[in-house]
Amino acid sequence: MSFDRRRFLQGLAGAATAGLLPGCTKQPFEAAEPAFHYEPGQPIPWMNWAGNQHCYPAHRIAPTGETELVERLKRAKGCVRAVGASHSFTALVPTDDTLIATDLMAGLVGYDDQSIQAELWAGTRLHDTGRLLEAIGQALPNMPDVDRFALGGALANSAHATGVRFGSMSSQLLGLTLATPSGELLQCSDTENPDIFQAARTSLGALGIVTRVRLQNVESFRLTEVNQIEYTEDVLDDLPRRLEAHRHFEFLPLPNSDLSVTVSTDLARPDDREQGADDPDALIKLRRLYESISWLPGANLVYDWLLKLNMAEGASTVRTGRSYTVLAHPRLVRFREMEYILPQEVGPACLREILQTIRDRGIPACFPLEYRAVASDDIWLSMFQGRPSVAIAVHQFGDLDHRAYFEQIEPIFWKYQGRPHWGKLHTLDSNRLKNLYSAHWQDFQDVRESLDPGNKMLNPYLRHLFGVV
């Protein structure tokens, strides 16, 4: 059964704001941790997009080219970290020593029409990448639905989208240029410095700073995306067919509800037309409704009942256009995220257990989860290495404390052999990570130690991940 998403959201807004339960707005959440402070005369702080990571770098550098970058990198003292768009939730970036921004090393370097390949500076943002490639008749085969990332950061963390026939962004990488901590520029590919290339395809920025990347693209194309609201169990029962039938398929289960938002995306047909429109305030309305009834006994059951009251037959919104405009979805609400990558065959069981745990324990959550499928690859530290995978993500609003919620859900991911997304929150250390990456964990450490024997690129968080004292 499907639901009209637009009517659903309109009804949601009415239930939350038009006097359904006037005055009943008890807050069930804990407040988030306080923000950091800045003292005049001290180093200017850096903060990530989510607001949960910060540092006070003594030196900030924004090189305009490789010559300047290599020289600065070679002379830098203490811990050196690179920063792109600051979208990682984990502490990959923070350093109080030297922070190198890649913003000024952005744009198209060159391309080849015959092979449909392009070389770009690693500081290029994804939202610019689509436009640059469109101008030369190319497109990324797939891309994350957040297009704020810098290419270098997206590749370092193995950023991904959805689609059983598509790997992560790192799988699209054919070659790269790496500036090492000692001040060398290395060309890396399957045939040139192949071990370094394998390590650098998903490196967490621990090997140096990637300056350029060469990507295997496809001819530019158009997509059409259809959004519906359906019962989660109906989606799970039909999941294998949908994953195969659509170029891209994902769904967003609503915690404390039987409903999900489904997103099906396929190559556009000539007669495809836009239909309806996404509501930019949908998440806020969802939260407002949840909080307005949180004081009630059995509030989660009432919440689910209110959502279902707004169901109606028919598809909701349809978006069609250039691939990079359809695949991208704006993030207008700040949040915190934990995401684990699991073997594809255990994904439904894991999701069911997460949703049931939220209900059984009365966890106050209404931010939608995400469920996506990704093809396997052979990249050493890729979360998708060696197995077709699904990614399940759990979110909390950025102004609320996520910790109690995530602490209750994370062990479920461990039960199903989940690997944490490198850019998303998790609590695993080197001892547990090396077991999840047993095939190539030591291979990566050997390459890292050979390129950075002084551990210049390791901040405390990376030392913790890699077990470096």
C-alpha–C-alpha distance, residues 113 and 130, integer Å? 16
Please name the residue that has the structure tokens 């659509």.
Answer: 246
Report CA 39 to chain centroid distance, whole Å. 32
Strand 317-322 relative to strand 222-231, pairing:
antiparallel
Domain of 231, CATH number, reads 3.30.70.2520
Number of domains in the chain: 3
- 216: amino acid identity, one letter: Q
d(C-alpha 75, C-alpha 295), whole Å: 59
Contact 295, 26 (CB under 8 A): yes
Q: Which of 58, 73, 99 is the last residue of a domain?
A: 99
**Domain shared by 59 and 196, yes or no:** no
Task: Report phi then psi at 389, rounded to 5.
Answer: -130, 160
**Does any domain span residue 431?**
no
Return averaged pLDDT per consecutive 10 residues of the chain, 469 residues in all. Answer: 50 48 39 67 93 96 97 94 97 98 97 98 97 98 96 97 98 98 96 98 98 98 96 97 98 96 97 88 92 90 88 70 95 95 98 97 96 98 98 97 97 98 98 97 98 98 97
Per the CB < 8 A criterion, the answer to whether 156 and 256 are in contact is no
Instruction: List the structure tokens of 363.
Output: 């966890």
What's the confidence (pLDDT) of residue 411?
Answer: 98
Q: What is the pLDDT of residue 234?
A: 97
Q: What residue has token string 């090189």? A: 63
Query: In the prediction, which pLDDT does 25 show?
Result: 37
Q: Are residues 398 and 278 in the same domain?
A: yes
pLDDT of residue 277: 80
- In whole angstroms, give the CA distance from residue 203 to residue 300: 42
pLDDT in the model for residue 11: 52
Which amino acid is present at 451? L
Per-residue model confidence (pLDDT) at position 126: 96
What per-residue confidence (pLDDT) applies to 9?
A: 52
Q: What is the pTM of this model?
A: 0.93
- List strand residue ranges (DSSP E) for 138-294, in order: 138-139, 173-179, 185-189, 209-216, 218-219, 222-231, 248-253, 259-267
455: left (phi over 0), alpha (psi -120 to 50) or beta: left
**Amino acid 330: pLDDT:** 86
Q: Are residues 57 and 205 in the same domain?
A: no
Last residue of a domain, one of 99, 127, 161: 99
Host H or E run for residue 392:
strand 389-397
Nearest in space to 341 (alpha carbons), one of 417, 419, 245: 419
Q: Which residues have a Cβ under 8 Å from the Cβ of 31 and sit 6 or more positions away?
A: 399, 400, 401
pLDDT value of residue 10: 54
The pLDDT of residue 66 is 98
pLDDT at 28: 45
Instruction: Give pLDDT, residue 64.
Output: 96
Same-domain pairing of 294 and 147: no
Domain membership of residue 426 (yes or no) is: no
Residue 207 counted as domain residue: yes
Exposed e or buried b for every residue in 87-123, given b needs 16+ CB within 10 A? Answer: bbbbbbbbbbbbbbbbeebbebeebeeeebbbbbbbb
Strands (E), 160-254: 173-179, 185-189, 209-216, 218-219, 222-231, 248-253
| pLDDT score of 312 | 43
* Residues 145 and 168 placed together within one structural domain of the fold: yes
Confidence (pLDDT) at 37: 79
Residue 175's CATH number: 3.30.465.10
Q: What's the CA gap between 75 and 283, in Å, rounded?
A: 47
Instruction: Give the domain range for residue 88.
Output: 46-99
